[in-house]
Amino acid sequence: MKKKLVSLLTVSALSLSVLAGCSSSSDSAADVASSAEEAAEEAVEEKTEEVADAVEETAAEVTDAVAGGDLADKKVGVCIYQFSDNFMTLFRNELESYLVAQGFSADNITIVDGANDQATQTNQIQNFITSGVDVLIINPVNSSSAATITDLVVGANIPLVYINREPDADEEQRWEDNNWNVCYVGCDARQSGTYQGEIIVDLGKDVVDLNGDGKIQYIMIEGDPENVDAQYRTEFSVKALEDAGLEVECLDDEVGNWDQATAQQLVANALSAHPETEVVFCNNDAMALGALQSIESAGRTVGTDIYLVGVDALSEALEDVIAGTMTGTVFNDHFSQSHSAADAAINFLNGAGNDHYIGCDYVKVTADNAQEILDSVK
Ligand code: BGC
């Protein structure tokens, strides 16, 4: 069998040389030679590409394995100011699943409830430090406690990502000046307030000024007053009306602490004291949902004899905007914020570092785009 193959090869080699020899023109010989050369080059190129691809693939696998392996071993401590907060529930669930998707082990992610008490949360932070976490993600109960928290965490040489409740400018300056591994991930609450105001402005003065007295009578339901989100939303929603040349009259301004039941009670009282209310501004959707309950119990109809806006784009609120029972809301993008927070934690862990402020945009939501936003958050 082998012999046969050898002789066959010999015969074909001979015929090839004869063929080449038969040709009287030296061009043909050169042609054969150059096509052989081309074929050889192509074969080499192909092989080189194959080898390069294989090397690249292996390198990527090795990187993944190293990174995945590293992250899987890293311990993450997450402090949430209060588990019962609707928005922070969306945020923390997304944060956890994104951390796992990036390679952290679910067993190494510990998320604790500060129960809206700074002393409890500070204790939890101390426990995390003692237990040796590699990185901390903190949604402070009181942003004004940030300096104390930062000192504790930086003192233990642990990188820190603040979320949702922005520490003040002096505190952020300290991170910058000391080049600490500390950053904040969140949105600029001024933008959400402005969008709330613009939703009302865009309806047109004649539509909103229901009693035609030339002024927009409103009530304001605020979140936790020490939270910059509450301060800015309160200020900038009204400022947007004024900037558009509308005269405003505040009938009532109450603290609902981000809470639906509290807001429901406050709005019930405010509406009975001020039936001339034309607009209800709520610093978040949970409170707007509470406001809506009271608006309906008072026999009022959103879009007809009163207007209502919130912030967050909770699914229930989006459904209300679609149904017309809420005038509008502002999408507080918990996907983008939680992913950026996790990415920032990873950057600290692998030594890449972060900017001290990592921002995210809000999105104005009215009946025009509420369905689209609802589809994207589901
Ligand atoms: C959200 C609120 C939430 C608060 C918690 C805000 O950004 O809009 O719904 O209660 O964060 O700090």
What whole-number distance in Å separates Cα of residue 125 and Cα of residue 148?
Answer: 11
pLDDT-derived band at 56, boundaries 50, 70, 90: low
pLDDT on residue 286: 98
The CATH number for 131's domain is: 3.40.50.2300
C-beta pairs of 173-182 under 8 Å, 24+ apart in sequence: 174/147, 174/150, 175/150, 175/356, 176/356, 178/154, 180/150, 180/154, 181/154, 181/348, 181/353, 181/354, 182/150, 182/153, 182/154, 182/356
Same domain, 118 and 226: no
pLDDT on residue 25: 40
Same domain, 41 and 61: yes
Same domain, 124 and 207: no
Q: Which of 33, 53, 71 is a domain's end point?
A: 71
pLDDT on residue 158: 98
Residue pLDDT, tens place only, 70-81: 899 999 999 999
Same domain, 253 and 275: yes
Q: Is 312 in the pocket of ligand 1 (CB under 6 A)?
A: yes
Say which residue the tokens 């990188």 belong to: 159
Centre of ligand 1 to C-alpha 158, Å, is 26
| 83 falls within a domain | yes
| 238 falls within a domain | yes
pLDDT at 290 exceeding the cut of 80: yes
Mean pLDDT of 24-37: 54
Centre of ligand 1 to C-alpha 160, Å, is 20
Rounded to the nearest integer, the mean pLDDT of the chain is 89
Same domain, 35 and 110: no
**Tokens representing 148?**
């104390």
Coil, strand or helix at 258: coil
Centre of ligand 1 to C-alpha 308, Å, is 18
Same domain, 81 and 166: yes
pLDDT on residue 288: 98
pLDDT at 300 exceeding the cut of 50: yes
Same domain, 351 and 259: no
Q: Is 85 in the pocket of ligand 1 (CB under 6 A)?
A: yes
Same domain, 319 and 243: yes
pLDDT-derived band at 42, boundaries 50, 70, 90: confident
∠ Cα 321 369 362 (to 5°)? 90
Centre of ligand 1 to C-alpha 224, Å, is 9
Q: Where are the alpha helices (DSSP H) in 139-259?
A: 146-155, 169-178, 189-201, 205-208, 228-243
Same domain, 204 and 281: yes
Same domain, 139 and 234: no
Residues 165 and 139 sit within 8 Å (Cβ to Cβ): yes
pLDDT on residue 85: 96
Q: Is 185 in the pocket of ligand 1 (CB under 6 A)?
A: no
Q: Is 284 in the pocket of ligand 1 (CB under 6 A)?
A: yes
Same domain, 67 and 96: no
CA torsion sign for 233, 335, 159, 177 is negative
| 294 falls within a domain | yes
pLDDT on residue 236: 98
Mean pLDDT of 270-294: 98
Residue pLDDT, tens place only, 134-183: 999 999 999 999 999 999 999 999 999 999 999 999 999 999 999 999 99
Q: Of 7-21, 107-121, 358-372, which gets the smallest average pLDDT?
A: 7-21
pLDDT-derived band at 340, boundaries 50, 70, 90: very high
| 59 falls within a domain | yes
Centre of ligand 1 to C-alpha 88, Å, is 7
| 326 falls within a domain | yes
Centre of ligand 1 to C-alpha 372, Å, is 22
| 130 falls within a domain | yes
| 346 falls within a domain | yes
pLDDT on residue 53: 64
| 67 falls within a domain | yes
pLDDT at 8 exceeding the cut of 70: no
Selected residue with higher pLDDT from 118 and 47: 118
Total number of domains in the chain: 3
Q: Is 332 in the pocket of ligand 1 (CB under 6 A)?
A: yes
Per the structure, the complete domain to which residue 297 belongs is given by 190-331
Mean pLDDT of 320-336: 98
Residue pLDDT, tens place only, 201-228: 999 999 999 999 999 999 999 999 999 9
Same domain, 215 and 325: yes
Q: Is 333 in the pocket of ligand 1 (CB under 6 A)?
A: no
pLDDT at 14 exceeding the cut of 60: no
Query: Which ligand 1 atom is the nearest neighbour of the CA of 187?
Result: 7
Mean pLDDT of 232-248: 98
Centre of ligand 1 to C-alpha 85, Å, is 8
Percent of the chain with pLDDT over 70: 84
Query: Which ligand 1 atom is the nearest neighbour of the CA of 283?
Result: 8
pLDDT on residue 35: 64
